[in-house]
Amino acid sequence: MAKKLSNRRKFLKNSAALAGGLAAGATQSANGQMPEKYIKGSDDLVAYGQRSSFETAVRESHGRPHSPDAFGLVKHVATPIQESVGVITPSALHYVATTRGHYVPDIDPNAHQLMIHGMVDRPLSFTLQDLKRFPSVTRLHFVECAANRPSIGAKTITESHGLTSCAEWTGVLLSTLLKEAGVKGSASWIIAEGAEEVKGTSSIPMAKAMEDSLVAYGMNGEAVRPQQGYPLRLMVPGFEGIFNVKWLRRIKAVDKYWMTYNDYGHLRQNDVDAALGYTIGPKSVITFPSSGQQLPDKGFYEISGLAWSGGGAIRRVEVSTDGGKKWKDAQFVGTPQRMAHTRFTLPWTWDGSESMLLSRCTDELGKVQPTRVQVAKFFGIPVDPSYRVPGRDNSIQTWRVASDGSVHNAYS
């Protein structure tokens, strides 16, 4: 890429304009940057560092339908995805959905156990110390709430797309534990239960449990955070967020689908149908520029966004800046991982006219992210996005860049 860039003249007119004043008095300018304040070291700061007090990105309660609830409690908390860089979501900013319980369990890891029972030869119970003795895997995976979608009411991308995050998860393959317990061949489902208030459980097809599901104790290099399921979270890569059971304490092998508290339209008693139905489709969104942001002036920008799919790795992302007439292939930043956020970029020179920015992705199965028109047709609802899709919506998000540089949700 570096070679290509050298053929261009200059990216930024502004930075060049500054040069005039600097050429003569360069050293003074550098001294002028000398910070007047220092952060005095403290034992706390040495022990476990903090972010700068100038950094203010925070999670936000997600949309009016979700928060606060009748008890005044926030249930869904969205990550400030417009601030994201790279593919890791900082654990402190990872989105949270707490539909299953109002409070976060405060679990002593030394007292916590994971039980595997039901249709197994040897019901087993594992302490954290036990689990850490098994062969481990570390994988980058996204989690996404089924409610994450383009929305007519969303003023910012956090409101429309902030219910997905991506982290480096470390733990034991669930297949390792199920084999250790001697899972029976006739067991076709598992039920995974968390330790929270409502004991929210999910029925998961055995094929998915054995393929790539993960009992995670690590997240971004340290223990899973409390809001993400400390000390154990079941990762079911690519399935709707609700299947990634937090505060995991019990897995039961069974021979049929069990209806549970978590069944928001998940009544699929055939395991293949269920596996397909629970999987997040190919999805992408431009995080910069996105609604609520402001372009300072005409000129060069790098369009940047995230793409992901429950169907595996992202193979292609295309970006349009003219409402979908012409598309260009975006670049990947790094190698796309399976069921993980993939950062894409496209260089763009904005000419100052109103522009409609879209991205669409294709996953390794060849599935292409649909338009709103296609999704509406599939569900038999009007194209007008004020009609909410009765299920997951992975349709394309359009941002409108106005001629004053302000960026808006094109559906609003």
User: Which C-beta is closer to a copy of itself: that of 51 or that of 256?
Assistant: 51
Binding residues for a copy of itself restricted to 351-410, rule: CB under 8 A? none
* Among 63, 82, 93, 209, interactor with a copy of itself by CB under 8 A: 93
Binding residues for a copy of itself restricted to 135-194, rule: CB under 8 A? 135-139, 168-170, 173, 175-176, 179-180, 193
Q: How far is the CB of 281 from a copy of itself (least distance, A)?
A: 24
Query: Between the CA of residue 14 and those of 230, 352, 358, what are the distances in Å?
Result: 47, 16, 27
Query: Between the CA of residue 224 and those of 96, 112, 176, what are the distances in Å?
Result: 13, 14, 20
Q: If binding is defined by CB under 8 A, does position 334 make contact with a copy of itself?
A: yes
Q: How far is the CB of 373 from a copy of itself (least distance, A)?
A: 33
Nearest by Cα to 161 from 393, 360, 356, 336: 393
Beta-bridged to residue 235, according to DSSP, are: 214
For residue 375, the tally of other CB atoms under 10 A from its CB is: 23
Binding residues for a copy of itself restricted to 11-70, rule: CB under 8 A? 11-12, 14-16, 18-19, 22-23, 26, 29-30, 33-35, 37-41, 45-55, 57-59, 61
Q: If binding is defined by CB under 8 A, does position 106 make contact with a copy of itself?
A: yes
* Among 184, 225, 268, 388, interactor with a copy of itself by CB under 8 A: 225
How far is CA 142 from its chain centroid? 5
* Among 145, 154, 195, 319, interactor with a copy of itself by CB under 8 A: 195
Q: How far is the CB of 68 from a copy of itself (least distance, A)?
A: 10
Could you tell me whether strands 248-254 and 113-118 are parallel, antiparallel, or unpaired per DSSP bridges? parallel
Q: If binding is defined by CB under 8 A, does position 247 make contact with a copy of itself?
A: yes
* Among 63, 66, 82, 91, interactor with a copy of itself by CB under 8 A: 91
How far is CA 383 from its chain centroid? 26
Binding residues for a copy of itself restricted to 2-21, rule: CB under 8 A? 2, 5-6, 10-12, 14-16, 18-19
d(CA 106, CA 24): 60
Rg (CA), the chain: 23
User: Which C-beta is closer to a copy of itself: that of 45 or that of 276?
Assistant: 45
For residue 325, the tally of other CB atoms under 10 A from its CB is: 8
Beta-bridged to residue 202, according to DSSP, are: 192
User: Residue 303: is it exposed, middle or buried by C-beta count within 10 angstroms (0-12/13-18/19+)?
Assistant: buried
Interface with a copy of itself (CB under 8 A), residue total 122
